[in-house]
Structure 1
């Protein structure tokens, strides 16, 4: 993958076709995702250095201007004739022009900072919490990519998520908050909700407090949600609203726990691989469609979890380093 395309992807300067190309490349391997993560860190460091360099350049310009003004004051003061008055006026005009140029530079630098976006990628087996500039708190689960501006605008707050995140959005009726997922947009004023949008899996939004409106990316359908509701979306089934589910465990993963309720082994494997940073292989395809329930506490290891599943007498396993092999007993 060309580095130029990856940089433009990080800076949100790609076409929809290029974005799909990069996302497909990221799904190919962990090495590709690590490469993007490292490149994001380099871009962030470079931007910080450029801002610092511009700030130092302005400081030097102000210092040089101050020195010239001090030197002018120390010179002898001639008699005020019309000619010297005009020279003084030209000097004042020149100084004003320099100051104006510096002010303009500061303005554009500040505006550029406010328009700049940050991107956070969370590797497997890790979780991250963020505090945004508006007071919104965000928890990001493993293998999640979250993009947000350094500073929100006065009338709108926007962020992007690929993966899973739990949000406690600071209430501000004059400045709505929009979370863009690959297939859905979530519009809120102030609320608590969980959003999942992993590649190759259904999108889902679960509301804990407040109210949100979920809209498909093509703006064709909208769905208003109330506390306890959950919305699932796939291109095949569209928006599906589950009323009054009241799942109190939607944010347990933010503390390191995993509550896997009535899930197929196929669904559980995806979350366990992200949670423990392992690769799980299943030798019996029929086993993938069997349902399990398991509460994985944050202090449990992958070995302990597999022992719990083994007690169901429906599967057995072996572990070799970071690879787990599941088979019929």
Structure 2
């Protein structure tokens, strides 16, 4: 029987545990339903959202949130075993087997997943995203496909280059750590944390990136710059973060995360700048309600059409 202390569970809820500890906690949860309930109860303690609005002064709101019931889906096949804890919206996925068949994992809007590929490469998959990969890589290359956003921590192997194919772009690495956002060709960005990457565009243009740099495409032009807001990668820990972004940019991000359409008739409102963070699992309506506190706007949600109207 695996023994897990409260200190380890607390650090897990805060995202401050190692990969090995994460595996042990998942196994501990699966041992006994009571363990899952214990972790869920502890999770309620940390279930809060902080939101800052930047005007002439800074306002901070802390909200205690009700825990939503979510289904726990366990799907075990010959090629993969997926362990899901619904209330954390975080999946640890371990793949076993020698089959070369292609596998595909999709994360629905408002959820995220974490998986370990056959070579030991670790991948965090953001909401409304899909990754396609072989259950066993070839001897001389490692190719995967991405739709949406993912954070990669690639296992080094100079004899087997790792290539991410996303929206017609090819990102080639040997061993590195980087984030890719490729929901569509108009919204494409690469942020390099460690190592180096070589990017080839759909029209065969090439670009190399160094650590601490970002690359994005604006009006079909390749633009390089510094990574100025690393907190944007907090989506790996279940957070949507904003740093001096306009409400228009925030709505655009919400639309990607939750696959909804937001229309706002108040154009002046869209130019307001904000900084803050939300938990992804709390859902789009919670975010809209929090924004409403400082702006006093009216909104209407049509769940059948996935549409939100703001006046």
Give the TM-score, by structure 1 length. 0.58
2:177 pairs with 192, 197, 219, which one? Answer: 192
SS of 2:235's partner is: helix
Instruction: Give the structure with higher Rg (CA).
Output: 1
**Does 2:122 align with 1:119?**
no
Contact 2:103 2:135 in 1 (8 A): yes
Distance across 1 between alignment mates of 2:111 and 2:276: 20
Unaligned stretches of 5+ residues in structure 2: 1-75, 80-96
The residue number in structure 2 matching 1:293 is: 275
**Does 2:230 align with 1:230?**
no
The residue number in structure 1 matching 2:310 is: 326
SS of 1:249's partner is: helix
SS of 2:160's partner is: coil
Unaligned stretches of 5+ residues in structure 1: 1-43, 49-109
Q: CA RMSD in A?
A: 2.9
Matches within 5 A, 1:276-291: 276=258, 278-285=260-267, 287-291=269-273
Give the TM-score, by structure 2 length. 0.61
SS of 2:275's partner is: strand
The residue number in structure 2 matching 1:27 is: none
Contact 1:207 1:228 in 2 (8 A): yes
Cα offset, 1:152, TM superposition: 0.5
The residue number in structure 1 matching 2:138 is: 153
The residue number in structure 1 matching 2:224 is: 241
Matches within 5 A, 1:1-329: 113-114=99-100, 116-199=101-184, 201-220=186-205, 222-234=206-218, 236-243=219-226, 245-276=227-258, 278-285=260-267, 287-298=269-280, 300-313=282-295, 316-320=297-301, 322=303, 323-327=307-311
Which structure is richer in relative contact order (CA contacts within 8 A, separation 6 or more)? 2
Contact 1:192 1:207 in 2 (8 A): yes
TM-aligned CA distance change 1:301 to 1:159, over 3 Å: closer
Cα offset, 1:274, TM superposition: 4.1
Higher strand share: 2
Contact 1:183 1:203 in 2 (8 A): no
Q: How many residues align?
A: 216
